[in-house]
């Protein structure tokens, strides 16, 4: 799927942060020279690209997850993990701090052997559904005649009560309809629209200052300096067959990227070099 306008230029497609950086520079220059039409178009494009930026950030946050996210589960799962881990730490501290002959040391060792033989991580790093099952099983056991008195003696009751209060919310949130995540199609459509907007504004500048005069040439160079700089940077990555990372649109600093899961960026394979003013 190719952009309708951008393919007419021998240029590299740029990520949303780079586009905002370029558009901001163009808007500032247009305001300085009182080029109202260019300034207004650039301002509208920046506002739209800020929305695309938010969309892309949401995509990057959720990519690699299942087709649907449960944002509330992250907080609840953290609470559950802390409660589950607290019981393990309590038992571990008893074992480490008390002599083997102490009854609490023995209770701690038996507790760990029964519920945390591989440590707390083996219990808290599983799927939400599996952890819910584990928590329900543990709570039933800890409230049974076999363990109730012992966990109370070891000082675990506050953590168990906390976990018991949490489980119904955990279950309800887990069973609630899944909130759909941002889709790749949404992000790609927004990216292509952004490419078109930038290309149209570059075209407007080239048309507005299109004469082969010193004044027009200087103005083109001024307007498109940031554009050409970003084209050169993206082109350097492209020639190394690497995806160009996005940049912070306010500072121009390149952002860390996971190349294995990076959002694909459209590249005009017929483009040998960036466009020049």
pLDDT of residue 188: 87
Predicted TM-score (pTM) of this structure: 0.54
pLDDT of residue 67: 41
pLDDT of residue 71: 65
pLDDT of residue 9: 61
Nearest partner of 204 among 49, 48, 35, 28, judged by Cα: 35
For the residues of the chain, what is the DSSP string, one character each? ---TTGGGSS-----HHHHHHHHHHHHHHHHHTT-HHHHHHHHHHHHHHHHHHHHHHHHHHHTTS-SSB-HHHHHHHHHHHHHHHHHHHHHHHHHHHS-TTSHHHHHHHHHHHHH-TT-SHHHHSS-HHHHHHHHHHHHHHHTSTTTHHHHHHTT-HHHHHHHHHHHHHHHHHHHSPPBPPPPHHHHHHHHHHHHHHHHHHHHHHHHHT-SSSHHHHHHHHHHHHHHHHHHHHHHHHHHTT-PPPPB-TTT-PBPP--GGGPPP----TT--S----
pLDDT of residue 122: 84
pLDDT of residue 265: 39
What are the pLDDT tens digits along the chain (277 aa)?
444 444 446 788 899 999 999 999 999 999 999 999 999 999 999 999 999 999 888 877 665 443 445 667 888 889 999 999 999 999 999 999 999 999 999 999 999 999 998 888 888 887 788 889 899 999 999 999 999 999 999 999 999 999 999 999 998 888 876 555 677 788 889 999 999 999 999 999 999 998 989 999 999 999 999 999 999 999 998 787 677 889 999 888 998 764 433 343 333 333 344 445 4
């Amino acid at each position: 799927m190719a952009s309708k306008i951008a393919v007419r230029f021998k240029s590299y497609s740029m990520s949303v942060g780079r586009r905002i950086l370029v558009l901001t520079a163009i808007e500032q220059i247009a305001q300085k020279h009182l080029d109202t039409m260019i300034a207004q178009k650039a301002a509208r494009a920046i506002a739209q690209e800020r929305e695309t930026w938010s969309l892309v950030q949401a995509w990057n946050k959720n990519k690699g997850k299942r087709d649907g996210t449960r944002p509330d589960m992250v907080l609840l799962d953290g609470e559950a993990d802390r409660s589950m881990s607290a019981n393990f730490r309590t038992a571990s501290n008893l074992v480490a701090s008390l002599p083997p002959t102490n009854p609490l040391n023995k209770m701690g060792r038996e507790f760990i052997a029964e519920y945390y033989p591989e440590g707390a991580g083996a219990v808290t790093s599983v799927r939400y559904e599996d952890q819910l099952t584990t928590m329900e099983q543990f709570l039933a056991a800890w409230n049974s005649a076999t363990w109730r008195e012992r966990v109370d003696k070891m000082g675990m009751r506050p953590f168990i009560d906390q976990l018991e209060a949490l489980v119904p919310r955990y279950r309800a949130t887990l069973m609630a309809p899944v909130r759909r995540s941002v889709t790749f199609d949404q992000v790609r459509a927004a990216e292509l629209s952004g490419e078109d907007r930038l290309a149209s504004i570059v075209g407007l500048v080239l048309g507005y200052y299109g004469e082969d005069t010193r004044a027009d040439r200087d103005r083109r160079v001024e307007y498109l300096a940031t554009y050409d700089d970003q084209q050169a940077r993206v082109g350097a990555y492209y020639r190394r067959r690497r995806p160009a990372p996005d940049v912070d649109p306010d500072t121009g600093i390149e952002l860390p990227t996971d190349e294995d899961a990076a959002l694909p960026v459209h590249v005009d394979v017929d483009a040998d070099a960036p466009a020049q003013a």
